[in-house]
Amino acid sequence: MHRPDRPHPTEVYENEVKELLSRMTVEEKLGQLQQLTWTGDTGPGGGQTEEVERAARAGLLGSVLNLHGAAHTNTLQRMAVEESRLGIPLVFGLDVIHGFWTTFPIPLAQASAFDPEVVVRDAEVSAKEARSNGIRWTFSPMMDVTHEPRWGRIAESCGEDPYLNAVLAVAKTRGYQGDDLAADDRVAACAKHFVAYGGAEGGRDYNTVDVSEQRLRNHYLPPFKAAVDAGVATVMAAFNTVSGVPAHGNPHTLTGILKEEWGFDGVVVSDYTGVEELIAHGYAADGADAARLALTAGLDMEMVSTRIAGHGEQLLADGLITEERLDDAVARVLALKFALGLFDHPYTDESAAIDEPTPEARAAARDTGARSMVLLKNDGGVLPLDATSSGTIAVVGPFADHTDLHGTWAGPGCRRFPSAGLLDAVRAAAPDATVTHAGADAEAAAEAARAADVTVLAVGEEPELSGEAAVRADIALPEGQAELIAAVAATGKPFVVVLLNGRPLTIGDWVDGVPALLEAWHPGIEAGRAIADVLFGAVAPGGKLPVSFPRAVGQIPVYYNRESTGRPHDPRSDEKYVSKYLDLADGPQFVFGHGLSYTTFTTGEPVLGQPSVGVGELGDGQRIDVRVAVTNTGERTGDEVVQLYVHDPVASIAQPVRRLRGFERVTLAPGESRELTFTLGADDLGFWTNDQSGRYVIEPGAIDVYAGTSSRAEARATLTVTR
Ligand code: GLC
């Protein structure tokens, strides 16, 4: 929980931890490093309920996963606190990724809002609901940078940019944890999955990640460093290898970088059976070896598999693990429990349990949903629809009246509180209109469209196609939906397509025939109402894409923060010998940072506060102001996200052609202008090298600074970095 302005809990509770450690047996110490799961909801194998109760009573259990409810958790807590020898309380953990009772939009949607306040709202509502139901620890935020749309877990991420992932990881961590982990509306957060999980080859879950040190440090690690500096209480190891060494047994990442370089003093927890999986990786010979490798590498608590607790005593006796490492791991777990207030208040007040979404929570989820939507196309001004219309609006497609739009990793709420459906929401938004409905059948949908003044066509992915172990080799719309779009388009009547999906999709074969296209992602409990808010203009769409949309699977990976290559392809040139496809147009279908509005904006050239800065001045903390003017040149109030990018055109490590280093979402009235000020400092103008020991450099020379409304920004100023 290191925060520059706050001492570590291991410092704060040093005496209490030492005193308790001194009274613990080796078996009890190993027990604190064990987390068992009550149900088998989130991984292979079943629940461990009998083992949980037995271990809790014996004082040989640190934490329980996948059990919530004040009464349920209190029952187990009494076993640990009142029946075991030392009465060390349990900490209850759950994946509260984007909501507990109130399901907010999926994290990829929230990232599209380009607004940290959006994730803070989710985190604060979620923490309050979860904490009142006995949960003290959430395995969130996930901050795996990824440009792999085949990977189902892109839905849980904040997309392909390290800076956006970092800003939102900090916001979400602070929203969950607040300033006092012991508060009755806060929970410990978990930065996951450490590290580079989003780089899995082929997008196939749990697959190999082979990454250079510079890309590890410039691309995958920044969100974790930001979360650690923001005081994140725990970190979860990733399932993948990192350049041949599994993340669960990787001393370079877990200890070298996380604990030694960064000074992380919280708890590193394994992912589900990740310790045992060191055997399957071909890295550990057996369970005892897996326990030794994981604990020694810097892992502190084992989730579900029981290799550390099972072999730790013998490993210690054989000198294969050290008492110092064992005590360090236990001290981290105990310090977390002290910081959570578990020793003073181990039980949850059952009378204060929140049992359903409040109206305020629903309103927050609805506004978050609307702010997270991205208007990809709007030719001919089909949108916004007229809420005063007395005409006919057809709402058609497989998701027209769907009530499961929570998305992957939705909390317990998705089983009790259906999403608001789009059909009912359109009816409520346009009370004087005749609203008709047709489902996924193309003929019926086309008939409804022919009879209507305008059609809303809702297509996309069922939530099951998204999330962990939900990898798609083909990321087109599911079977039959492109045909449905073609049938509605063939009527020649105005229509808008609403996309409900958990990943970028290849939409090239139908997008040209669609006048208006709204990316709504999986918007959560208030889905239909949030979509209607945007369709009818109650909320102006202002979201931007946090991920590129590839034209075809064959083009993957395609992402904005790419290297130039030695033979960059200029679409205006017909040069043969350049980096391009013979059979595909250049670049993604839609770029990172793309998103339209119901009005229009212009942004000015970036204006530097000073033309140059010295490497030493940057090292001393000097920052450069960059001012950018933005104007609403249209007829309606709207939101714009002004983005700031840098590019170092000459460097000892080839730099990305664009790196996002600032963004601000603003609401402007028609004709209104505003001057935004960004700042650039050492962390924006340098980069990590391939040096394993971690070497960050800022090299003299020109740095191009771009400002605009997507990663295609061309307005440029050049800063000179001097020796
Ligand atoms: C899963 C996920 C991880 C989650 C954990 C506990 O396998 O990889 O993100 O927090 O298990 O459910």
Q: Ligand 1 center to residue 272 CA distance, Å? A: 6
Q: Which atom of ligand 1 is nearest to the CA of 66?
A: 12
Q: Which two tokens stand for residue 467?
A: 């999330």
Tell whether the model's pLDDT for residue 364 goes beyond 80: yes
Q: Which residues contact 12 (CB under 8 A, 6 or more apart)?
A: 335, 338, 339
pLDDT digits (tens, 9 = 90+) for 590-648: 999 999 999 999 999 999 999 999 999 999 999 999 999 999 999 999 999 999 999 99
Protein residue whose Cα sits closest to atom 11 of ligand 1: 272
Q: Ligand 1 center to residue 304 CA distance, Å? A: 11
Sign of CA dihedral 481, 483, 485, 488: negative
| Mean pLDDT within 359-375 | 98
Q: Ligand 1 center to residue 31 CA distance, Å? A: 21
Q: Ligand 1 center to residue 448 CA distance, Å? A: 43
pLDDT digits (tens, 9 = 90+) for 292-315: 999 999 999 999 999 999 999 999
**β-bridge partners, 627:** 607, 677
Backbone angles phi, psi at 645, to 5 degrees: -125, 155
Mutate to test the pocket of ligand 1, among 68, 92, 272, 277 (most ligand atoms within 8 A of CB): 272
Helix (H, G, I), strand (E, B) or coil at 682: helix
Q: Which atom of ligand 1 is nearest to the CA of 139?
A: 10
pTM of this prediction exceeds 0.95: yes
Q: Which atom of ligand 1 is nearest to the CA of 156?
A: 9
Protein residue whose Cα sits closest to atom 3 of ligand 1: 271
Tell whether the model's pLDDT for residue 15 goes beyond 70: yes
Q: Which residues contact 669 (CB under 8 A, 6 or more apart)?
A: 632, 637
Q: Ligand 1 center to residue 714 CA distance, Å? A: 41
Q: Ligand 1 center to residue 302 CA distance, Å? A: 12
Where does the pLDDT of residue 2 fall: very low under 50, low under 70, confident under 90, or very high at 90 and above?
very low
Report the C-alpha gap between 28 and 51 in whole angstroms. 15
Q: Report residues whose beta carbon is within 6 angstroms of any ligand 1 atom.
A: 42-43, 65, 95, 139, 192, 271-272, 468
Report the C-alpha gap between 166 and 169 in whole angstroms. 5
pLDDT digits (tens, 9 = 90+) for 178-193: 999 999 999 999 999 9
Closest residue by Cα to residue 194 from 115, 116, 297: 297
| Mean pLDDT within 376-390 | 95
| Mean pLDDT within 364-393 | 97
Pick the catalytic residue from 271, 533, 648, 684: 271
pLDDT digits (tens, 9 = 90+) for 197-233: 999 999 999 999 999 999 999 999 999 999 999 999 9
Protein residue whose Cα sits closest to atom 12 of ligand 1: 42
pLDDT the model gives residue 9: 74
Active site residue 271: yes
Mutate to test the pocket of ligand 1, among 36, 42, 65, 240 (most ligand atoms within 8 A of CB): 42
Kind plus residue range of the DSSP H or E element containing 602: strand 601-603
pLDDT digits (tens, 9 = 90+) for 131-188: 999 999 999 999 999 999 999 999 999 999 999 999 999 999 999 999 999 999 999 9
Q: Which atom of ligand 1 is nearest to the CA of 42?
A: 12
Q: CB pairs under 8 A, 24+ apart, for 478-481?
A: 480/440, 480/442, 481/397, 481/398, 481/440
Q: Select the more confidently predicted residue: 261 or 1.
A: 261
Protein residue whose Cα sits closest to atom 10 of ligand 1: 139
Protein residue whose Cα sits closest to atom 8 of ligand 1: 271
Name the region of 374 (left: φ>0; alpha: ψ -120 to 50; beta: rest). Answer: beta
Where does the pLDDT of residue 571 fall: very low under 50, low under 70, confident under 90, or very high at 90 and above?
confident
pLDDT the model gives residue 10: 78
pLDDT digits (tens, 9 = 90+) for 497-548: 999 999 999 999 999 999 999 999 999 999 999 999 999 999 999 999 999 9
Mutate to test the pocket of ligand 1, among 270, 271, 305, 471 (most ligand atoms within 8 A of CB): 271
What CA–CA distances, in Å, run from 467 to 100, 137, 317, 561? Answer: 17, 21, 42, 24
Closest residue by Cα to residue 2 from 180, 228, 259, 177: 228
The DSSP letter of residue 296 is H
Backbone angles phi, psi at 336, to 5 degrees: -60, -45
What is the residue-averaged pLDDT of the chain?
A: 97
Tell whether the model's pLDDT for residue 4 goes beyond 70: no
Closest residue by Cα to residue 95 from 26, 176, 168, 200: 176
Q: Ligand 1 center to residue 239 CA distance, Å? A: 10
pLDDT the model gives residue 126: 98
Name the region of 24 (left: φ>0; alpha: ψ -120 to 50; beta: rest). Answer: beta
Tell whether the model's pLDDT for residue 5 goes beyond 80: no
